[in-house]
Chains A and B, each alone.
Chain A
């Protein structure tokens, strides 16, 4: 019995590692959503579309301007973040005094429009985007599997970006402004902080995180207009499980659920695509504010 279990684990280790790679995307995307929700109280349903835009901007930079992967990793989040500034300034900022539902409906509509435009322009079959040369070549031997270098990089980059975001929010003066404004924005503004500008830049930063994840995803998934919408539903489940607005919750839950998904593929593959939603239902029943959220 034990031997059988160990054998199954050994067979399943690659799935677990791949689950970690998926978890990296869950973590990055839910982190952006958490940053935006914490500050703006807006459930950014356009996050998947902005993730997709990140991948497409990287593709455009390469194919139209000849700019490769590494500069795109910086440029694409900046470009998509600037688009976020435009969206926040012209549309989202008008909804802050209304119920959360309006923000959700607006961003849902935006997601459909953005996706439609890209589908119309680029079709839905997907466009190839090669990983950078430095991360190509033979896969890394982990002992129990060969892992393409690029996938290893995705996990490292997601962890690094999550840590950097956490450090900015928890350990810097800007982060203190953000945390305080999440509690009482009017008072922070009455101390002399330009809160409206901070809100705009926070939205841009959250959108930039989605675009960063999009660039990371481009060489793994083909660059296509639906790549965000298929992922975003799972990411929303991750956010609900972690707790809306919790930075630490997003990262831990993102990677954790990636692993759980991987493990489920080993032990009960039929449930692998639903396990996250089952966990979400249980967490909502037992702890509605999420595992790391404040009630």
Chain B
């Protein structure tokens, strides 16, 4: 079997003196949507940030397309083809919508064209000249996702894209994730809401105390509800 697009082994990460990840092991194959489920503080966001090179110190292995990235700087990781849509969305207040959208440089061929992005997110075209932070929460989330679609990155890491959004916007984000999967992108998604996750994902990892404690395919999810309720405390 071909090597997965992303293979994370024994990933440990620290913020200052705090040891947050205690040996994460995950694999994401090309074209898959994989979620990291878990309670607040379990280490899901830190996993994405550690893969992206945004934590103070890390060890273990992060292999992307066979290339070891655990010691690389975040700009090199981005140029290798990984993009992050952060939890706080990271929309820049001093840039308008178009500037925000065009900010990340193209890292390789294969990104979506601007017209296709506007077709997917028509609001962004209408509000092209508005300052990024004047958009609604849902529009900001769309902008944060749209921004990494045109770079050509193969693996998109989305950190809680539905957090704090109205149900109708959550549905729209779900449609967007299915659309980008259909276009061949690979997605690693952090979610607390597994009801949303099951509508978009192929597989799920459950994270607790900075390590993976369970892995469930979407097909097995219905039978694993009790376990998930225990893990997630819902």
A residues with CB within 8 A of B: 173, 176-177, 179-180, 182-184, 186-195
Contacts and interface: CB of A to CB of B under 8 A. Distances in A.
Interface stretch (B5-13, B71-79, B113-121): B71-79
A192 B54 CA distance: 12
15 contacts: A176-B99, A177-B103, A179-B94, A180-B103, A182-B94, A183-B92, A183-B94, A186-B74, A190-B53, A191-B104, A191-B105, A191-B151, A192-B75, A192-B105, A193-B75
B225 interface: no
Given A176-B99, A184-B92, A186-B74, A191 B83 contact: yes
Nearest to B81: A192
B99 A192 contact: no
Contacts of A195: 75
A190 B99 CA distance: 17
B75 A187 contact: no
B95 A190 contact: no
Contacts of A180: 92, 94-95, 103
A180 B78 CA distance: 17
Given A180-B95, A184-B92, A190 B105 contact: no
B95 A192 contact: no
B75 A194 contact: yes
Main secondary structure of the interface of A (DSSP, over half): helix
A83 B211 CA distance: 48
Interface residues of B, number: 25
A182 B107 CA distance: 22
Contact of A184 (B74, B90, B105, B107): B90
B104 A192 contact: yes
A180 B92 CA distance: 6
Contacts of B86: 187
A173 B75 contact: no
Contacts of A191: 75, 78, 83, 103-105, 148, 151
B103 A190 contact: no
A192 B94 contact: no
Interface string B172-186: 000000000000000
B102 A192 contact: no
B90 A192 contact: no
Closest 3 CB pairs of A and B: A192-B78, A191-B104, A190-B74
Contacts of A183: 92-94
B81 to A, nearest CB: 10
A176 B53 contact: no
Nearest to B73: A189
A183 B102 CA distance: 16
B94 A190 contact: no
B124 interface: no
B78 A190 contact: yes
Nearest to A169: B94
Given A176-B102, A190-B52, 17 more contacts: A177-B103, A180-B103, A183-B93, A184-B90, A186-B74, A187-B90, A189-B73, A189-B75, A190-B54, A191-B83, A191-B103, A191-B151, A192-B105, A192-B107, A192-B151, A193-B75, A194-B75
A184 B54 CA distance: 12
Given A191-B151, A192-B151, A176 B73 contact: no
Interface string B35-78: 00000000000000000111000000000000000000111011
Given A187-B90, A190-B54, A192-B79, A176 B74 contact: no
B111 to A, nearest CB: 12
Contacts of B94: 179-180, 182-183
A184 B79 CA distance: 19
A194 B72 CA distance: 12
